[in-house]
Amino acid sequence: MSAFREDVLSGRVALVTGGATGIGKEIARTLGLHGARVFICSRKVDRLEKSTAELRAEGIDCAWHRCDVRDPDSVSAAVENLLGRGHGLDIVVNNAAGNFPAPISRISPKGFRTVVDIDLLGTYNVSKIAVDAWLRDNGGSIVNISAPFEGKGAALQSHVAAAKAAVDSLTRTCAVEWGRHGIRVNGIAPGHVADTEGVARFTAAAGASGPERIPLGRVGVARDIANSVLFLSTEAASYISGQVWTVDGASSVDQIGMAGRLADMEANWPERES
């Protein structure tokens, strides 16, 4: 169920990088189910074909192009393919990312660089190429998917945390530089999202953590992230730019991690006013 009319994005075109899997696929689905033509791109053709078929079966106008976001020529070819369809481009979602959990002592320079290249350089490549090719003259919305690591250490995720913090910085600068062209640039920073490969890999390395540590009492799902991107893609967000929103059920603001114990504490609190 959605808070938005199902045609709220009718006539719009959305490019979702990494749109064949996980959160990106749910973003593509949600934008598509609200009327947008969606175009997904990533490296593995089998996954692109399978997800495109699934989304089309749901009535979504979906196309794909193989693309490595680290390679500007590859990104340009994808954007040319998209624009060649003659419907323009309104929404860019930089969702593609690399991730593997490891302590700093076990990450090679190549592994660290790969994540920075996909997450940060990829976001820069796709944004810049989409702006030069279309958005500068037509306006639009860019949403960068990052992660809520700002101001904190992130064990086993040094490479991802560094790259995502830089993506958040890029989000703010792009919003400032491109605002005059009618381009809004925002970020969504998801907490742990259930049923994703990223969380499965992290849980395998670091163990599971349950919903009790999350103030809202449940683990996030891909739809929570997709709905946030949907909102930012509509006219309802027409004056919002340069913001990075954390979507994590308030986990990252629970400084002392007390959320899971509060119900018991309140029930057993001594019968006097403090």
Euclidean distance between CA atoms 78 and 130, whole angstroms: 10
Euclidean distance between CA atoms 214 and 260, whole angstroms: 7
Structure tokens at 21: 């899997």
Residue 29 three-state SS: helix
Which residues 9-38 are close enough to bind ligand NAP by CB under 6 A? 17-18, 20-24
Per-residue contact string for residues 46-85; x = within reach of ligand NAP by CB under 6 A: -x-------------------xxxx---------------
User: Least distance from C-beta 153 to ligand NAP, angstroms?
Assistant: 16
User: Least distance from C-beta 157 to ligand NAP, angstroms?
Assistant: 9
198 binds ligand NAP (CB under 6 A): yes
Segment interacting with ligand NAP (CB under 6 A) among 168-176, 189-197, 226-234, 266-274: 189-197
β-strand pairing of 62-66 with 91-94: unpaired
Burial 212-231 (b: 16+ CB within 10 A, else e): ebbeeeebbbbbbbbbbbbb
Nearest to 126 by CA among 91, 88, 162: 91
Euclidean distance between CA atoms 161 and 159, whole angstroms: 6
Binding-site member from 125, 196, 241, 246 for ligand NAP (CB under 6 A)? 196
Which residues 114-153 are close enough to bind ligand NAP by CB under 6 A? 118, 122, 145, 147
**Which amino acid is located at 251 in the chain?**
S
Binding-site member from 62, 116, 185, 193 for ligand NAP (CB under 6 A)? 193
Task: Give the total of residues touching ligand NAP (CB under 6 A).
Answer: 31
Binding-site member from 38, 62, 78, 96 for ligand NAP (CB under 6 A)? 96
Q: Which residue is nearest to ligand NAP (CB)?
A: 22
DSSP state of 158: H
- The torsion of the CA quartet 92, 94, 95, 100, rounded to 10 degrees, works out to 170
Binding site for ligand NAP (CB under 6 A): 17-18, 20-24, 42-44, 47, 67-70, 95-99, 118, 122, 145, 147, 190, 192-193, 196-199
